[in-house]
Amino acid sequence: MNIPLLMFFQAQSRIWAVAAISGAALGVHAVLTYVAVSRLGYGLPGAAVAGDVSHWLVVAAQFAYMTTGSRFTDAWKGFSVRAFNNLGDFVKLSLGSAVMICLEFWYYTTLLILVGLLRQPKLQIDIMSIRLNFEFMTVMVALGFSTAIGIRVSNELGANRPKETKIAVLVAVSTSIVMGAIFMGVVLIWRTSLPKLFSDSEEVIHGASKLGHLLALTVCMSSIWHVLSGVAVGAGWQVPVAFINVGCYYLVGIPMGILFGFKLKHGTMGIWMGMLAGTFLQMAILLTVILTTNWDKQAALTEVRMAEWRGKENLPLMKSPHTDDQMTPAKEKMLAQDSKKNVDLLRTE
């Protein structure tokens, strides 16, 4: 329930309200976890219960904020049969998003399973868990930029402003590169100190420190990839990205991880190197697609899709927003006819 509510608030530009709710929930979560684990001695089950309670508090607070008062009276006018117009396309887009996200999370789960098959599995999983925990900490920052650029791209395309879309994408990608470089520098400088935040075992700390260079490269690539993913989501490319994830993660990353980790006997480092290979290929493909995209065509496709979802019989005119030609009835009729003929062509190119 949290994700649909979060998407609604983002679409309504109520980001600070979501941030305030999340900040308050984080404070409650810290207190509940401390009490359950340290005071009551419930250990991991206590931490899990505290996490569940905190998540439901977020959902309850978001739902209360949405339904009380008159903040969103213009956002929803009640149930309508128009909500079911072109439902198939909407379901296709939603399923593409779900597959795209699930494939990413399952990828990391598969890597942990592979690491657990190595010698000294407890030690290896501890080392990999430190790497995943720190990466997820940096990913939270990248996800903020990813959400922002996703909303910006969808808004600009919906407003039929391809030039502004391209500028926003270039700024976001440049920012992600700088952000990734900063995170990489932090890891390289403090690679021997960061593992101490997660463990007091000298063996675990030493093993994690040896992989500091790989962690630095990982957080850099992860920061860039999440912003690229935000651009793809904003442009409605969930289904193509899901196929890219399958190819890069499961046909390249995992097989190479198995090869390096088990066949070539590089252990955790080998599995991690395979994962990086898959992530790098995915990032390179997404970056190439984004930099070579015809944003004028994407804006036209968005206009068509919006018209269909709103249940309009007439498709929008395929006219560039930068054209200054004076419209006449004859030109308008001609553009309307061309628009209907070119919709299928736009979708297949």
CA gap 54, 21 in Å, rounded? 11
pLDDT value of position 349 = 52
Going from N- to C-terminal start, the domains of the chain cover 1-70, 86-312
Contacts of 46 (CB under 8 A, 6+ apart): 33, 36, 37, 40
CA atoms within 13 A on the CB side of 207: 22
Q: What region, left, alpha or beta, does residue 259 occupy, with left being phi > 0 and alpha being psi -120 to 50 degrees?
A: alpha
Residues 6+ apart with CB under 8 A from 181: 220
Question: Virtual CA dihedral for 99, 105, 111, 116, nearest 10 degrees?
Answer: -120
d(CA 166, CA 134): 32
> How many C-beta neighbours within 10 Å does residue 132 have?
16
The pTM is what?
Answer: 0.75
Per-residue model confidence (pLDDT) at position 217: 92
Distance CA 186, CA 256 (A): 28
Under a CB-based contact definition with an 8 Å cutoff, are residues 187 and 246 in contact?
Answer: no
Return d(Cα 270, Cα 263) in angstroms, integer: 9
pLDDT in tens, the chain (349 residues): 787 888 788 777 788 888 899 999 999 999 999 999 989 989 889 999 999 999 999 999 999 988 887 778 777 776 777 777 777 777 877 787 788 788 888 888 888 889 889 888 888 888 888 888 888 888 888 888 898 898 899 889 988 899 999 999 999 999 999 999 999 999 999 988 888 888 888 888 888 888 888 889 999 998 998 999 999 988 888 888 888 988 999 999 999 999 999 999 888 899 989 989 999 999 999 999 998 999 999 888 888 777 766 655 444 544 444 444 454 555 444 444 454 444 454 555 5
293 Cβ contact partners less than 8 Å away, ≥ 6 residues apart: 235
Count of beta carbons in the 10 Å neighbourhood of residue 79: 7
Of 67, 65, 63, 53, nearest in space to 25 by CA = 53
DSSP 8-state class, residue 325: P
The number of C-alpha atoms within 13 Å of 48 and in the hemisphere containing its C-beta is 4
pLDDT at residue 31 in the model: 95
317-347 CB burial, b ≥16 within 10 A, e <16: ebbeeeeeeeeeeeeeeeeeeebeebbeeee
What whole-number distance in Å separates Cα of residue 83 and Cα of residue 35? 46
Whole-number Å distance between alpha carbons of 172 and 169? 5
d(CA 69, CA 62): 13
Q: Tell which residue, 8, 226, 4, 228, has the closest CA to residue 94.
A: 4
DSSP state letters, 295-309: HHHHHHHHHHHHHHH
